């Protein structure tokens, strides 16, 4: 005797075939989409300052470590001028400052200046970066 379809299998053949609902697939896609959104937002945030024309001008032709340092200087200059008008904004600024490692900027600057002592092109670029107002 052949088993009769319950009607549900006809309406949702995927669940009948796999024992799982389409919901599992949707949840999986939502998790993947959320992960991707977080990954992309961090990447976008990191590159905000490197793409500014005034930062590009200063970093043009500089060694990679100097470019990275100047981008951090620009970012830290920016965040130091931001007003934490509410709790959420204050937390956002705090996280950005931490991510940019603004607390170690002075010691990192000393190390870069020691490394490139006598290289006026690098030292001038760092001095210009410190004056950026973003």
Q: What is the per-residue pLDDT for 46?
A: 47
Give the integer Cα–Cα distance in Å for 132 and 43.
23
Q: What is the per-residue pLDDT for 39?
A: 38
Q: What is the pLDDT of residues 48-107, one digit of tens each?
A: 888 999 999 999 999 999 999 999 999 999 999 899 999 999 999 999 999 999 999 999
The overall average pLDDT reported for the chain is 79
pTM value surpassing 0.85: no
Question: What residue spans define the domains of the chain?
Answer: 8-40, 48-130
Q: What is the per-residue pLDDT for 47?
A: 53
The tokens describing 90, both together, are: 């204050």
Give the integer Cα–Cα distance in Å for 69 and 50.
11
Q: What is the per-residue pLDDT for 133?
A: 86
Distances in Å between the Cα of 115 and the Cα atoms of 29, 69, 121, 122 are: 48, 13, 13, 10
Place of tokens 């981008």: 71
Give the integer Cα–Cα distance in Å for 49 and 20.
46
Q: What is the pLDDT of residues 6-45, one digit of tens each?
A: 454 454 455 455 555 555 556 555 444 444 443 333 333 4
């Amino acid at each position: 005797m052949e088993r009769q379809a319950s009607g549900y299998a006809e309406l949702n053949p995927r669940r009948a075939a796999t024992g799982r609902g389409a919901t599992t697939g949707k949840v999986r896609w939502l998790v993947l989409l959320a992960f991707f959104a977080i990954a992309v937002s961090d990447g976008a945030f990191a590159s905000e300052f490197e793409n500014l024309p005034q930062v590009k001008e200063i970093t043009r032709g500089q060694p990679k470590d100097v470019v990275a340092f100047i981008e951090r200087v620009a970012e830290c200059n920016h965040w130091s001028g931001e007003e934490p008008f509410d709790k959420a904004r204050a937390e956002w600024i705090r996280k950005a400052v931490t991510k940019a490692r603004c607390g170690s900027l002075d010691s990192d600057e000393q190390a870069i200046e020691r490394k490139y002592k006598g290289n006026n092109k690098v030292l001038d670029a760092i001095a210009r970066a410190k004056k950026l107002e973003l």
